[in-house]
Every structure is written in C-alpha cells, then in structure tokens.
Amino acid sequence: MFTPLHSFGGFSVRDVDAARAFYGGVLGLPATVGEMGILSITLPGGGEVIAYPKGDGHSPATFTILNFVVADIDAAVDALNERGVVTKLYGDEPGVPRTDEKGIARGKAAGEGPDIAWFTDPDGNILSVLAE
C-alpha cells in the first residue's frame, strides 16, 4: 500500500545563501537552512520545497519550478519590481506567450490561459506569478 506521510518538491541552486536571501528576504517566504546545507522553503498554503546546493554543477531548470497564484497580478508584478525582481520579458519566441511591457502574458483576455509573469531566482531557475 502506498501511504506517504509527507511530500515536498526540490530543485538545485548554486548558492544556498543567495537562495535564502531571495526566497526568504525578497519573496518573504519562511526559508531556513538545515542539515547538509539544504534550504527548506515553506510555501503559501503550507507546502514545502527544498533547494539543495549543487555549486558549480548547478544548471538552472528550463521550466517553471514554482508558480505563485495571486489575486492581482499587476500589483504582484509591481511589488516584485519594487524589490528588484525583473519579470522575464518574452518576445516572439516560438511556443512562448508574448508579454506586455510589465512582463505579463495576458492570456485570459485572449482565451489562451491565465495572466502570468515569469522571473528567475538568483541561480536562473524560473518562477511565475499568475492570476487566480
């Protein structure tokens, strides 16, 4: 019988201290370094994800590793920008939604998915905020 007691996701980072400063300080999530230098990040809603150190062996994820659902995407992007986070601007790349000047892909109005904006952590892993 498969009966997990707990679950969590994980991804690698080059520098755990920089990741803790970003996830804990910039994004305001509870983030603590524990055994073996692993960063534990508590997500809104009570989930957990870990960031484990890979040093120079780290390669950023080429996909979105975390999505943060927000009530007001424009306000969320503004708050991120005020904290020095640059929303990733996509242009005419094939298969990638086009974003506006704020870095938001306005999918809802076009009937093409949610309104979403991407950005990266200090190690190049991709994250997003998306409208509820």
Contact 87, 102 (CB under 8 A): yes
Tell me whether residue 38 is exposed, middle or buried, using C-beta atoms within 10 angstroms of its C-beta: 0 to 12, 13 to 18, 19 or more: middle
pLDDT of residue 91: 67
State residue 21's pLDDT score.
Answer: 98
Q: What is the pLDDT of residues 79-115, one digit of tens each?
A: 999 999 999 777 667 777 788 989 999 999 888 889 9
How far apart are alpha carbons 104 and 88 in whole angstroms?
9
Task: Report H helices in 21-110.
Answer: 73-82, 107-110
- 42 and 90 belong to one structural domain: no
Whether residue 1 lies inside any domain: the answer is no
Over its C-alpha atoms, the chain yields an Rg (Å, rounded) of 16
pLDDT single digits (tens) 41-84: 999 998 999 999 999 999 999 899 999 999 999 999 999 999 99
Q: Are 16 and 73 found together in one domain?
A: no
Look up the CATH number of the domain holding residue 75: 3.10.180.10
Place of tokens 């990741």: 19
- pTM here is 0.90
pLDDT band for 5, please (50, 70, 90 cuts): confident
Q: Is residue 74 a part of any domain in this protein?
A: yes
Domain count, the chain: 2
Domain span at residue 64 reads 60-132
